[in-house]
Amino acid sequence: MDTILVVNAGSSSVKFQVFAVEGEGALRRQIKGQMDGIGSRPRLRASGRNGDPLADRAYPIEAVADVPAAMAVAGAWLRDELDINPIAVGHRVVHGGPDFVRPVLIDHGVVTRLERFASLAPLHQPHNLAPIRTLLRSFPALPQVACFDTAFHRDHGALADHYAIPHQLHAEGVRRYGFHGLSYEYISRRLIEIAPAIAGGRVIVAHLGSGASMCALQGGRSIESTMGFTALDGLAMGTRPGQLDPGVVLYLIAEKGMSASNVQSFLYRDCGLKGLSGVSNDMRELESSKDPRAAFAIDYFAYRIGLNAGMLAAALQGVDGFVFTAGIGENSASIRARIAERLGWFGVTLDPDANTRNATKISGSDSRVPVYVVPTDEELMIAQHTLALLMKQSSFGGKRERVS
């Protein structure tokens, strides 16, 4: 059985999924797993396509000290116990910069170019690239494909793409990229199936999780996003501030004596819901907390989403549909209700029962704008891109190597 392995590596975890390649390029999810607690309390968890548990194993710290070690352990388990022999590996890479506008086969030159964007996505890029390097060293003939969170937004028009800075900086790559593109691309395709009446129209999608952003879709294509040069911009997130006056950064440097690296760490790790609440960066903990600062953080989150919805509605010149997705968007009925209240000005009302049930369509019968909850699937999107590129390159007859 031919399979595609999808890898999404972070600083302390490696998430992976295995997809079986079936007739006419169809994909079926076989395994979903992750190695988390890397360097602290390593644990491998995995389940089969029906959710049946396949593994739940703890490891000593020294056995899984870093991402390459995690890849080795997870790979050995897939190979030795499940006889998984992938024909290719697809990776989520957060920042593709101005050069990469579509998925690409990886070689050492591609990795070198992607390393340049590490400072623009310090929580993600270095960790996305770590398993790629590991596999390049150990299995140089195994096809690897990079799929970029920025690529879906690269068709933005010039007005949406530019900052009001000298053109030379834009030419060097200082521009508005947008992120969560794999999620938005999946949603745009899924809407064709579940909501064809709006799929080709003007749709705002809210990807709300620990990382959060919003995207304006027109005809299934991204025309505007709340995120820009880095994944710090736009909405308040778990630990990131969202929209911030650049003068705040100057103040932190000039008045607080913070170095550039300290400011970077502060903005990526200590702000957002965590900074506002002083309680947690996890929305579930904030919703259960009695601390008034937690309630304020939730109110702020909903308020900024309402403001940015107005901006995206202006970019679209109207709204034909609104979609919630990602962890918070898919699972928190109370947050969806708070946000819907702030969207009442353009005709949004919710069906309380449908919202509580996490139904696909949660808008009320009198809502002028239909509202949907659509679970995202970035891993399937990566697998589809990987398979498509593999087929285009006619790699099925080439040499295959095992991952360990």
Q: Are 78 and 31 in contact (CB under 8 A)?
A: yes
Q: Are 358 and 324 in contact (CB under 8 A)?
A: no
E strand or H helix that includes residue 216: strand 212-218
Catalytic residue among 52, 66, 149, 377: 149
Q: Are 400 and 85 in contact (CB under 8 A)?
A: yes
d(CA 188, CA 200): 9
d(CA 32, CA 52): 10
The first and second tokens of residue 282, run together, are 């996890």
Q: Are 217 and 223 in contact (CB under 8 A)?
A: yes
E-strand stretches of 10-93: 13-21, 27-36, 43-48, 53-58, 88-93
Question: Helix, strand, or coil here: 282?
Answer: coil
d(CA 60, CA 107): 33
d(CA 194, CA 178): 25
Catalytic residue list contains 161: no
Q: Known catalytic residues?
A: 149
